[in-house]
Chains A and B, each alone.
Chain A
Amino acid sequence: DTEVTQTPKHLVMGMTNKKSLKCEQHMGHRAMYWYKQKAKKPPELMFVYSYEKLSINESVPSRFSPECPNSSLLNLHLHALQPEDSALYLCASSPHDRDRNTEAFFGQGTRLTVV
């Protein structure tokens, strides 16, 4: 199983809503990532979890709150978002082993629209 599964695939939310994006992998990877991708732009790193601990936060606003309940799951909790937060949110995972460089596996993303 070399799959990263993201749900939902599409999400429309109001600026006062609270919603969560979910990501799941069963490859035994110990590093998981959230990226944000605006239209016609490259993905930008938001958060990195290493062994279920937050290791990198790329100065992301607090209205985005990540959570890693276990080694297979990664959530992104959304609250009080702005229309400019509309984007494709990509989850990825990779082995956390510096002696064995490897690629990151990406999910299909959640297309988020904030109205």
Chain B
Amino acid sequence: AQKVTQAQTEISVVEKEDVTLDCVYETRDTTYYLFWYKQPPSGELVFLIRRNSFDEQNEISGRYSWNFQKSTSSFNFTITASQVVDSAVYFCALSEWGNQAGTALIFGKGTTLSVSS
């Protein structure tokens, strides 16, 4: 069965600290897609990063980076030099190739990140 686990419920850091959000997933599909979304108090889900199952290259985009390891079914997300505006709920999500349509997402329970000044 497909499942996304975010073991960290809440994380609190001080500005400029680096923070890593953990995500572990389960799927029977060999082709799948992994995402990180940010949800500020306003409610809108903001797309951050996407990774395909067949591309394990890890990248850095500005202050964001991610570490995708198929061997451990993990897709961790790091914010470098955190800022107060990074405070939000962060969701890891999975979409399977076998889905009937588009990008129907299975979300983890979310990690609430609080960055203080």
Contact = CB atoms under 8 A, between A and B. Distances in A.
Interface of A: 30-31, 33, 41-45, 48-50, 55-56, 88, 90, 92, 94-96, 98, 101-109, 111
Contact of B45 (A45, A90, A96): A90
A50 B52 contact: no
A86 to B, nearest CB: 14
B62 interface: no
Which of A30, A43, A98 has most B Cβ within 10 Å?
Answer: A43
A108 B45 CA distance: 7
B interface, over-half SS? loop
Given A50-B101, A101-B50, A103-B35, A108 B109 contact: no
Contacts of A96: 101-102
Nearest to A56: B100
Given A42-B110, A103-B35, A31 B101 contact: yes
B45 A50 contact: no
A31 B47 contact: no
A105 B37 CA distance: 10
Contact of B103 (A41, A43, A94, A109): A94
A105 B35 CA distance: 12
Interface of B: 33, 35, 37, 42-47, 50, 52, 91, 95, 97, 100-110
Contacts of A98: 97
A109 B101 contact: no
A107 B44 contact: yes
Contacts of A41: 109
A42 B108 contact: yes
A38 to B, nearest CB: 12
